[in-house]
Amino acid sequence: MKYIKQILGGELRQYTMVLALGLLVIIFDIISGGRMLTSSNVQNLISGNAYVLVLALGMLMVIVIGQIDLSVGSVAGFAGMVMALVARDYNIPWWCAVLVAIAIGILAGAWHGFFLSQLGIPGFITTLGGMMIFRGGVIWISHSISVPAPEELKWFGAGYLPEWGPAFTGMNNSTLLLGIIGIVCYMIAQIRKYKHSGDGTGEKDALWAVVVRIILMSVLIGYFTWLFGSGRVGTSFPVPGLILLLLTIIYHIITQRTEYGRHVYAVGGNKSAAALSGVNVKKTYFLTMVNMSFLAAVAGILFVGRSTAAGPADGTSWEMDAIASVFIGGAAVSGGVGTILATIVGGLVMAVLNNGLMLMGVGADKTQVIKGFVLLAAVAFDVYNKKSGKASIIGRLFPSKESK
């Protein structure tokens, strides 16, 4: 047990949700007769859930400041519908239609942010109103009819990385390169962490443990690189997955390395203390709501690109999956706690649940029941750990700067 802790770099309980994710994948793969871990299925799993995970990135920051956003699904649906309509009716280039959708998202976020930051109306009420407005707006402007999307958007919502170079690798070379970059980046990060471990009062990591950790992660990344890159001809790592990966890196840096990110956690931890220390609470509220609706527009664009059309029901209940991803990832209901990487883990748990239950032939009604129990169990376990003075489910796996 001691050696396992050294390899993992800490206490085992901080890896609870990551281990649960791995266990879910293995169980569903066995029950489904090996259909879970196939190239086509993992490609569909990522591309089919990327839009929810994009929403979860923004929802984390909203929840960290102690608010909630119920409008994100409706905003995503409205932005996607406007994009499809202006592209069809005004014959403008697809990229102009995308910019219009993003502008819609930013304006919607500014609307919510104004009521929250300037008028002091809680985010729950503000975005509940926004949910009704934009949900009705989608149905109104579409006349309850689906609208075809520009053909170029299909690449963003359902496309794959291109093939290039020699064919002797037996894989998609773009995916292979992405996997190699991932392994190299992880190796560099672990070496830097090893060099700086023990700089303070902590004990320096064992070199052998760092080497084993790098080998294990390299094998894992290599396996999924092979899985994504060895599917049928013309497929590879999905473009929506690449967009999600880039956004995850960007928002991890924003929340952990920037002044704005520090302000988000400060406001969520103690709004009064943050204000006394010079944090502009109103500005933080406003920017966080704008960012949330911006990401909602991005999610809407990805979904419309995948489905090749904007529908009047797009966005329905998306906010529920986004919120569940954040809380399963260990965010605190009261705000101030949660990280981007942990939220992605939580979102992947939800995605694997959806996918695995579908492979087993479980209906949508029973799937909702199971997901509800999983969410309650995750939050209850988190609350129990905190009351017991222990780490949250996954908070220590990806600690924020405020928790160090």
- Quickly state the pLDDT bin for 18 (edges 50, 70, 90): confident
Give yes or no: residues 153 and 232 share one domain: no
pLDDT at 386: 62
Give yes or no: residues 130 and 49 share one domain: yes
Residue 81 in domain: yes
* Structure tokens belonging to residue 251: 């928002």
Burial class (CB in 10 A: 0-12, 13-18, 19+), 361: exposed
Give yes or no: residues 150 and 193 share one domain: no
User: Which DSSP category does 69 fall into?
Assistant: -
Give yes or no: residues 261 and 120 share one domain: yes
Residue 45 in domain: yes
Number of domains composing the chain: 2
- DSSP string of 248-269, one letter each residue: HHHHHHHHHHSHHHHHHHHHHH
Residue 213 in domain: yes
Whether the CB-CB separation of 41 and 355 falls below 8 Å is answered with yes
- Quickly state the pLDDT bin for 402 (edges 50, 70, 90): very low
Give yes or no: residues 151 and 277 share one domain: yes
Q: At what angle do helices 72-89 and 318-328 cross, to 10 degrees?
A: 130
Q: Of the ranges 6-10, 35-39, 127-131, 356-360, which one carries the lowest mean pLDDT score?
A: 6-10
Three-state secondary-structure class, residue 353: helix
% of the chain with per-residue pLDDT over 90: 66
Give yes or no: residues 257 and 391 share one domain: yes
Say whether pLDDT at 188 is over 90: yes
Of 197, 216, 237, the one marking the end of a domain is 237
Domain of residue 155, CATH code: 1.10.3470
pLDDT at 127: 95
Give yes or no: residues 190 and 249 share one domain: no
Residue 1 in domain: no
Residue 339 in domain: yes
Q: Give the type of residue at 216.
A: L
Q: Give the type of residue at 288.
A: T
Whether the CB-CB separation of 309 and 146 falls below 8 Å is answered with yes
| pLDDT 10s digits, 195-209 | 877 665 566 778 888
Q: Can you name the residues that pair with 73 across neighbouring β-strands? A: none
Give yes or no: residues 145 and 200 share one domain: no
Q: How far is CA 235 from CA 152, 255, 267, in A?
A: 17, 33, 44
Say whether pLDDT at 282 is over 70: yes
Residue 8 in domain: no
Residue 6 in domain: no
Say whether pLDDT at 377 is over 60: yes
Give yes or no: residues 277 and 137 share one domain: yes
Residue 381 in domain: yes
| pLDDT 10s digits, 70-124 | 999 999 999 999 999 999 999 899 999 999 999 999 999 999 999 999 999 999 9
Q: Which helix (H) or strand (E) holds 310?
A: strand 309-310
Give yes or no: residues 263 and 226 share one domain: no
Mean predicted lDDT score pLDDT of the chain:
88
Give yes or no: residues 244 and 370 share one domain: yes
Of 208, 237, 266, the one marking the end of a domain is 237
Residues making up the chain, counted from first to last? 404
Of 213, 237, 261, the one marking the end of a domain is 237
Count of C-beta atoms within a 10 Å radius of residue 258: 11
Say whether pLDDT at 5 is over 70: no
Q: Which domain holds residue 220?
A: 170-237
- Quickly state the pLDDT bin for 389 (edges 50, 70, 90): low
Give yes or no: residues 205 and 244 share one domain: no
- Rounded Cα distance between 184 and 309, Å, is 39
Residue 238 — φ and ψ, nearest 5°? -65, 145
- Rounded Cα distance between 39 and 371, Å, is 25
